[in-house]
Amino acid sequence: MPQPIFFAHANGFPSATYGKLFAALAPDFQVQHLEQHGHDPRFPVNDNWSNLVDELIHHLEGGAEPVWGVGHSLGGVLHYHAALLRPELYRGVVMLDSPVLTLADRMVIRAAKRFGFIDRITPAGRTLGRREAFNDLAEARDYFAGKSLFRRFDPECLDAYVSHGLQMAEQGLRLKFDPATEISIYRSVPHTAPGRPQQLAVPLAMVRGRHSRVVLPHHARLLRRMPRAEYHHLPGGHMFPLERPQATAELLRQLFTRWASSQEKSA
């Protein structure tokens, strides 16, 4: 039987964008996911993302067994917080270019919210006023291919984003991921966590894109406080799971195979 993975996407990137990564994990792993986090009116975006964590836990509770939690950026933080609250739902967590924040990080974020400069330290400022509508898929693909964020995407991942990140509108196509929700998620980035790093009861791996400006060397130092944590890096930047989906899948396979073997020996 394939082992269950529950994947949580980065802000603004519907889960179907990662289809090539999911396919590379088959048939040994079956990837479950929500289409889009933050769009269920039962779990509206709130400060520190606690409702988004509750949304994730709600869906994990519907599973038949504990999962390998894999999250990119936003998704990695959601899994980390959920695992602190409900470790019995997990076999382990992998954070793909998601930081575990230090006290200094959290103080800066809290001050940025309080004094109104959060848009300057998160992508919210760049998201404001971004183009949302296109005439057709070809125009959208040309537009995104010219943006620096997408320039190094695997071509199939870029095609998947264009195919699944847009929806029909009255005239042409519009972004499927609600821009106001995306901005709200950035502005409410957590400055708190539901537990301390040393309280995490499941294995955790933080995987950094080698050229990332989101996960930084000082974030890796926090892993030393965790009972079973490790640090890895792959070529690419913050979007490396969509730039190198095959390499990302191979690292996940290696981690889960090793962790599963260790868990079987200790059972």
- The answer, yes or no, to whether residue 267 has pLDDT greater than 80, is no
* Global confidence as pTM: 0.97
Residue 119 — very low, low, confident or very high, per pLDDT cuts 50/70/90?
Answer: very high
pLDDT of residue 68: 98
Average pLDDT over residues 23-49: 98
- The answer, yes or no, to whether residue 128 has pLDDT greater than 80, is no
- The answer, yes or no, to whether residue 222 has pLDDT greater than 90, is no
pLDDT of residue 229: 97
Question: What is the CATH code for 3-266?
Answer: 3.40.50.1820
Distance CA(48)–CA(45), nearest Å, equals 9
- The answer, yes or no, to whether residue 129 has pLDDT greater than 80, is no
pLDDT of residue 125: 83
Query: What's the mean per-residue pLDDT of the chain?
Result: 95
- pLDDT tens by residue, 201-212: 999 999 999 999
- pLDDT tens by residue, 8-28: 999 999 999 999 999 999 999
Q: Cα angle at 243 between 60 and 180, to 5 degrees?
A: 60
Distance CA(164)–CA(207), nearest Å, equals 26
- pLDDT tens by residue, 65-94: 999 999 999 999 999 999 999 999 999 999
Average pLDDT over residues 44-49: 98
Three-class secondary structure of residue 12 per DSSP: coil
Distance CA(109)–CA(222), nearest Å, equals 17
What are 131's strand-pairing partners? none
Percent of the chain whose pLDDT exceeds 90? 90
- pLDDT tens by residue, 161-184: 999 999 998 889 999 999 999 999
- The answer, yes or no, to whether residue 50 has pLDDT greater than 80, is yes
pLDDT of residue 92: 98
Distance CA(140)–CA(145), nearest Å, equals 8
- The answer, yes or no, to whether residue 258 has pLDDT greater than 80, is yes
Distance CA(101)–CA(50), nearest Å, equals 16
Q: Where are the domains of the chain?
A: 3-266
Residue 101 — very low, low, confident or very high, per pLDDT cuts 50/70/90?
Answer: very high
Average pLDDT over residues 34-59: 98
